[in-house]
Amino acid sequence: MPSRRDFLKTSMLAAGALGLPGLARASASPEQGAIPARAGARVVSTWDFGVPANRAAWRRLGAGGTALDAVEVGVQVPEADVANHSVGKGGYPDRDGHVTLDASIMDGDGRCGAVACIERIVHPIRVARRVMEATPHVLLVGDGALQFAREQGFHEEDLLTPEAAEAWHAWLKEARYQPVPNSENRDYHQSLGLPGGKHNHDTIGMLAVDAHGHLAGACTTSGMAWKLHGRVGDSPLIGAGLYVDGEVGGATSTGVGEEVIRNAGSFLVVELMRQGRSPQEACEEAVRRIVKKRPDAAKELQVGFLALRRDGAAGAFAVQRGFTYAVCDAESTDRVFASPSVYTTSFN
Ligand code: SD4
């Protein structure tokens, strides 16, 4: 468990992370990506755009909402943000021009629900919760998921914004599918002039523990831009993009979903925490397995895991440098931390 000194150092890093040049200079060290337990509630989520999402979740907790309510409300912020090019409306489409969304939600008591490859619904996370609460199933896909959403009274709309359509038409000229690591970090990415200024994938994974120690998580995305129609990533798959066990903690992932699915990533992180690893150690082991299985491929792709233990301790680890996560608690609602990573120089 990191000492108070480590926590202070980490907090300073967080301050640096918000002033982006500081983050760029920060080198990976063990205390990065690990924040100690604290009494009371805490919300964590992937990437720097997790800050406003965390705040919405926090407000919900403050108004007496459960951890499940909080994560459901929180991830709706990027879902509705048309400037975010891959969660919900405004997301980049697949190869054929369809915006297809994946989402999952899980409570610490084991209840869970998900939708995959759903179209025309701005808030797939709300449909996922409805699957969990109003059906005997866990996962609905494609047309069946849309049919269910219609039956539940969800409003339908075209999710392909003019801006996303323009990006798709530009992509069609070469039509090369090549995910860009860290494209999710809008400010970070752009301020450093890293390659691939267009966001081709963003995912928000959020984990919350409320003041009673109750846990929940949610994950929502439009997946990898320009993917094949029908492709489903890790985000709606319980155990891959999200897993929560109220006795232990929760984990969520972002990046190239195929790599996470191959390793049942989020389940693995939670199981490692159950065996006594810290959140950060557990994330690191899950990332290292991905790298070990496909070392050459791993050099050019990004996967990041974020974990929150039942006692509020949090940690993260990624393949490439540049993964960030946002932390919100009574002390501060808007900290952004740099995750440590296997590679510290790639894409920089
Ligand atoms: C996917 N894991 O569909 C998602 C994409 C993602 O940040 O996380 N992007 O594979």
Rounded Cα gap, residues 184 and 325, in angstroms: 11
- pLDDT at residue 74 above 80? yes
Among 49, 224, 290, residue to substitute to test ligand 1 (most atoms within 8 Å of Cβ): 224
- 86 Cα to the center of ligand 1, angstroms: 9
Pick the residue whose CA is nearest to atom 5 on ligand 1: 223
Cβ < 6 A, ligand 1 pocket = 184, 201-203, 221, 223-224, 233-235, 254-257
Rounded Cα gap, residues 219 and 78, in angstroms: 11
- 201 Cα to the center of ligand 1, angstroms: 6
Q: How many residues does the chain have?
A: 348
Among 177, 182, 221, 227, residue to substitute to test ligand 1 (most atoms within 8 Å of Cβ): 221
Whole-Å CA distances, 130 to 79, 124, 178, 224: 17, 10, 34, 25
The mean predicted confidence, pLDDT, of the chain is 85
Ligand 1: nearest atom to the Cα of 254: 8
- 224 Cα to the center of ligand 1, angstroms: 6
Among 256, 258, 263, 302, residue to substitute to test ligand 1 (most atoms within 8 Å of Cβ): 256
- 83 Cα to the center of ligand 1, angstroms: 17
Please tell me the number of Cα atoms within 13 Å of 195 on its side-chain side: 9
Ligand 1: nearest atom to the Cα of 86: 9
How high is the pLDDT of residue 230? Answer: 97
Pick the residue whose CA is nearest to atom 10 on ligand 1: 257
Rounded Cα gap, residues 43 and 267, in angstroms: 19
Beta bridge partners of 74: none
Q: Which positions are catalytic? A: 203
- 231 Cα to the center of ligand 1, angstroms: 11
Rounded Cα gap, residues 54 and 56, in angstroms: 5
- pLDDT at residue 322 above 80? yes
Q: Give tens-digit pLDDT for 161-201.
A: 888 899 889 888 888 887 766 655 544 434 433 322 334 34
| Longest distance between any two alpha carbons in the chain, whole Å | 54
Domains contained in the chain, CATH given = 41-338 (3.60.20.30)
Pick the residue whose CA is nearest to atom 3 on ligand 1: 223
Q: Give tens-digit pLDDT for 265-318.
A: 999 999 999 999 999 999 999 999 999 999 999 999 999 999 999 999 999 999
Q: Give tens-digit pLDDT for 190-219.
A: 443 332 233 434 689 999 999 999 999 999
Beta bridge partners of 113: 105
Average the pLDDT over each of 6-15, 56-65, 275-284 and give the range with the smallest value: 6-15
Do 230 and 254 contact (CB within 8 A), yes or no?
A: no
Q: Which two tokens stand for residue 248?
A: 């232990």
Q: Give tens-digit pLDDT for 222-240.
A: 999 899 999 999 999 999 9
**Residue labelled with tokens 């090549």:** 178
5 contact partners, CB below 8 Å, separation of at least 6: none
Q: Report the predicted TM-score, pTM, of the whole model to 2 decimal places.
A: 0.86
